[in-house]
Structure 1
Amino acid sequence: MLKEEHELTKDGRILRKKDVLPTVKPQKNTFKGNIYILCSGKTYSGGSEFVSIAKSYSNAIIIGEETGGGFYGQTSGSYVQLLLPNSQLKVRIPLLKFYTTFTSDKIPFGRGVIPDYEVEPTFEEYINGTDSELEFALKHINKK
């Protein structure tokens, strides 16, 4: 799969070949309402990439905690798995690096997506199964 979808460049990098993933054009009848996205420190990989793109290219309102995945990209995709001989600990090392082409003056490199409204559940809320982010979002929507 790596050889089929990627190529070695002149500068020694391995990049995904153009047109491996199709470009999708937006539908004519797109949603015009407000968009609210809930995220947390457990938002990684594609979820974090989705929040990054939404924050950069839409008026979506991001609510919750800073994402665990990076704003500018992450490593994921195919993995090499190692078994450490003494501890028997299994380690997965990602082989692909995904990065975005946009920048932000508000989010430094190495950070996740910083929400517009930071909502961090308390320990009691977490233990009791209270969805603090959702409750905040619903209150915010009802104010409007």
Structure 2
Amino acid sequence: MITIEKYTPCRHEQTLELQVLEDQAQFTVENIGKRLESLKPTELPHLILEDDRVVGFFLFDAAYSADYDFCPQRSLGVRSLLVDHRHQGKGIAKRAISQFADFAKLHYPAFDFLCLTVNCRNIPAYQCYLKAGFEDMNKLYHGGPVGPQYIMRQAL
């Protein structure tokens, strides 16, 4: 069973074990420990669990719409998503992403949308977001570190 929960220190050691393959590192967070240490107050870390074991990580960013003009106000950004390479290919990301909207409505009711960007070269991630309910806004974001990115969102 795939579930989402807010990050808590009791899961810190499991969270630090998460890794992606070398060719995926350019698209996501490479060092989760450093990322957790440098969180802004508006960056809300979450975990993806498979049968109560940490298999993934992502952030909801409550300031996303203030930082990115393509994102409507009252939107949560989805950032730094990763599923550990040892658990990829099992549909975990799609099942987790499919739960984002309901989770956000329950825990962050002040928001109306989820927004994100995904690198144009990261086709598996792009297709996963589409299958999980996000829509392509047919615009590109060109401010990313590794090339143009699709802008996607989902209404809450």
Q: TM-score range by the shorter chain?
A: under 0.3
Higher helix share: 2
Please give the TM-score of this superposition, normalised by the length of structure 1: 0.24
Higher strand share: 2
Please give the TM-score of this superposition, normalised by the length of structure 2: 0.23
